[in-house]
Amino acid sequence: MGEVTGRKAAAVNAPDRVAEAGGSFSGAVRNMFDGIAPRYDTFNHWASMGLDYGWRRATVRALNLTAADAVLDVGTGTGDLAFASAKTARYAVGCDFAAEMIRCARDKTAPGDRTSFHVARAEQLPYSNGSFQGVTSAFAMRNVKPMLVDVLAEAFRVLGPGGRVGILEFSRPQRAPIRWGHGLYTRVLMPRVGKRLTGTAEPFEYLYRSIQEWCSPQEFADFLRDAGFTDVSYRMMGLGTVALHTGRKPPSTEC
């Protein structure tokens, strides 16, 4: 997908370290992704060994979209999940508060893609109640953890009655050998390759810590239920390293 172009990222400070020092977690997340945006796609596809394509397709299938549906991808990054959704839906909107990521998404847009991309905050979405029949997100929830309740409330608000949500997020494998190998991969190898690709290891060291500190799939399912979603479930993929969460806004819910 994305080409390896543009200058390497300047050194960035990891969001969790910034927050520990009394700074803005969300501001540091935005700066981090703005810094690595030109090489984000290359790293993603390498780090997942290409499995991310299948994870996105599984997310789109889980929404049971029709050609009449509109989909919102929250924390869209460079837009890959929005592009995947638009192949089935009437159109897809991607939003992210990192402007450089949105610029990359727009640069990837081709005529007939039926997508649009906006700079917007996940906890303050600029869309009307009930505007979408599907809401997706891929690997963004860890990065909005301090405002997770508000983010899920906004996702619920912009969904129409009966609309579905599909959220991909990393998880810690339950089987000990896989957990050990995955920990070594994310803690040691990924930062080294990330630094080679982008010029900085901080975002990838943060990635490892954020996965370790993220809630379990069962706990995140409870967050979705607390936000009002029903029919909440999840399935594990990638040997337990990724969870696909799904849910539905009740048909009788007022927008």
pLDDT single digits (tens) 68-118: 999 999 999 999 999 999 999 999 999 999 999 999 999 999 999 999 999
Considering only CA atoms, which of 171, 121, 182 is closest in space to residue 142?
171
User: Residue 125 pLDDT > 90, yes or no?
Assistant: yes
Percent of the chain clearing pLDDT 90 (strictly above): 84
145-202 pLDDT, tens digit per residue, is 999 999 999 999 999 999 999 999 999 999 999 999 999 999 999 999 999 988 889 9
What SS3 state is found at 92?
A: strand
All domains of the chain in start order, with CATH? 15-248 (3.40.50.150)
pLDDT of residue 197: 86
CA dihedral 21, 23, 28, 29 (to 10 degrees): 90
Using 50, 70 and 90 to split pLDDT, how confident is the model at 13? confident
Q: Does the CA dihedral 159-53-77-123 come out positive or negative? A: positive
- Answer yes or no: are the C-beta atoms of 96 and 120 closer than 8 Å: yes
Condensed to tens digits (0 to 9), the pLDDT of residues 230-246 reads 999 999 999 999 999 99
Check whether 3 has a pLDDT greater than 50: no
Query: Between the CA of residue 107 and those of 68, 76, 94, 117, 211, what are the distances in Å?
Result: 26, 14, 13, 10, 30
Q: Which residues of 62-74 are buried (b: 16+ CB within 10 A; e: fewer)?
A: bbebeeebbbbbb
| CA distances in angstroms from 146 to 112, 149, 161, listed in the order given | 37, 8, 27
pTM of the predicted model, to two decimals? 0.92
Burial class (CB in 10 A: 0-12, 13-18, 19+), 46: middle
Closest alpha carbon to 190 in 77, 54, 46, 50? 46
- Residues 6+ positions from 12 with CB-CB distance below 8 Å: 28, 31, 32, 35, 36, 200, 202, 203
Provide φ and ψ at 11, rounded to 5°. -60, 135
pLDDT at 10 over 60: no
Which residues does 200 contact at the CB level (< 8 Å), separation at least 6? Answer: 8, 9, 10, 11, 12, 35, 36, 194
Q: Residue for token digits 């969001």?
A: 15
Dist. CA 199–CA 9, nearest whole Å:
6
